[in-house]
């Protein structure tokens, strides 16, 4: 699919719901700093659509972007950022829970993990939640520009083993080199049932 138009819609806090006219929603989940906001900007070819920061914990609300009037991309706040207070961690849990379990139009989750590291405890919890709730999911292994091809292959196998997913459900991706961008867009098109040559 091609992204021709991408606009920021709203930020959700607390237990707000988002219906978004019933359009499909694709949520992006992952540890703080893994590259969620960068992936949105890369997919949409806009450098400032989602706020990117080298400081973890930047995205603290559920931010929603409308793509081509076809679907919504949902940038979830990153988990596992140790330096936030316990009450903020609880807020995070509540916000995620209320978004994820309340969203009738959640079609798919892109679960982002850093290709350089074995998935951590929070990644395992996130994936367990996804599998428990049977939400279709693609694992995106971010920052693949940091590894050679051979290292990427090894990391992907380790990610599959840790998360209990199949190799074809893991896509290496880089917002820096745009590696994996075409593959991810194609996959989103398939998930949403949009044909390649749609006007
Ligand atoms: N080398 C490399 N760096 C990346 C890539 N994607 C993101 N980064 C860097 O990683 C840092 C975090 O990126 P963000 O996109 O803000 O991460 P996030 O997951 O949205 O973080 P939170 O909003 O804090 O949860 C920034 O310094 C980015 O420039 C990538 O593909 N390759
Ligand atoms: Mg972010």
CATH of the domain at 180: 3.40.50.300
Report if residue 163 sits inside a domain: yes
Does any ligand 1 atom lie closer than 6 A to the CB of residue 37? yes
Most confident of 51-60, 120-129, 167-176: 167-176
Residue 197 within a domain: no
**Is 32 a pocket residue for ligand 1 (Cβ < 6 Å)?**
yes
- Residue 198: inside a domain, yes or no? no
- What's the pLDDT at 91? 67
Distance 33 CA to ligand 2 centre (A): 7
Q: Percentage of residues in the chain with pLDDT exceeding 90?
A: 64
Range 52-67 average pLDDT: 79
Number of domains present in the structure of the chain: 1
Mean pLDDT of the residues in the chain: 88
Domain for residue 60, yes or no? yes
Whether 56 and 81 have beta carbons less than 8 Å apart is answered as: yes
pLDDT at 138: 98
Whole-angstrom Cα distance, residue 45 to residue 24? 21
For residues 198 and 73, the model is more confident at 73
- Is residue 96 one of the residues assigned to a domain? yes
DSSP state letter for 46: -
Among protein residues, the one with the nearest Cα to ligand 1's atom 24 is 57
Closest listed ligand to the CA of 140: 1
- Among 95-99, 139-143, 186-190, the range scoring the smallest mean pLDDT is 95-99
Count other Cβ atoms within 10 Å, centred on residue 157.
12
Q: Give the H or E element holding residue 62.
A: strand 62-67
Mutate to test the pocket of ligand 1, among 11, 27, 35 (most ligand atoms within 8 A of CB): 35
Cβ within 8 Å of residue 69, ≥6 positions away: 5, 23
For residue 49, what are the domain limits? 6-192
């Amino acid at each position: 699919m091609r992204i021709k138009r991408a606009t920021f819609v709203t930020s959700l806090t607390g237990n707000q719901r988002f219906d978004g006219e019933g359009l499909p929603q694709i949520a992006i989940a992952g540890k703080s700093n893994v590259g969620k906001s960068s992936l949105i900007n890369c997919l949409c070819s806009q450098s400032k659509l989602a706020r990117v920061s080298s400081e973890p914990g930047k995205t603290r609300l559920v931010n929603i972007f409308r793509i081509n009037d076809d679907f919504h991309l949902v940038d979830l706040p990153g988990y596992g950022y140790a330096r936030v207070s316990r009450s903020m961690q609880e807020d995070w849990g509540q916000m995620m829970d209320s978004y994820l379990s309340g969203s009738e139009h959640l079609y798919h989750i892109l679960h982002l993990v850093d290709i350089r590291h074995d998935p951590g405890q929070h990644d395992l919890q996130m994936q367990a939640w996804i599998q428990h709730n049977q939400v279709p999911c693609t694992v995106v292994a971010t920052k693949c520009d940091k590894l050679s091809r051979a290292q990427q292959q090894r990391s992907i196998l380790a990610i599959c083993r840790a998360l209990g997913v199949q190799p074809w459900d893991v896509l290496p991706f880089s917002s820096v080199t745009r590696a994996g961008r075409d593959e991810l867009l194609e996959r989103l098109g398939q998930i949403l049932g949009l044909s390649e040559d749609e006007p």
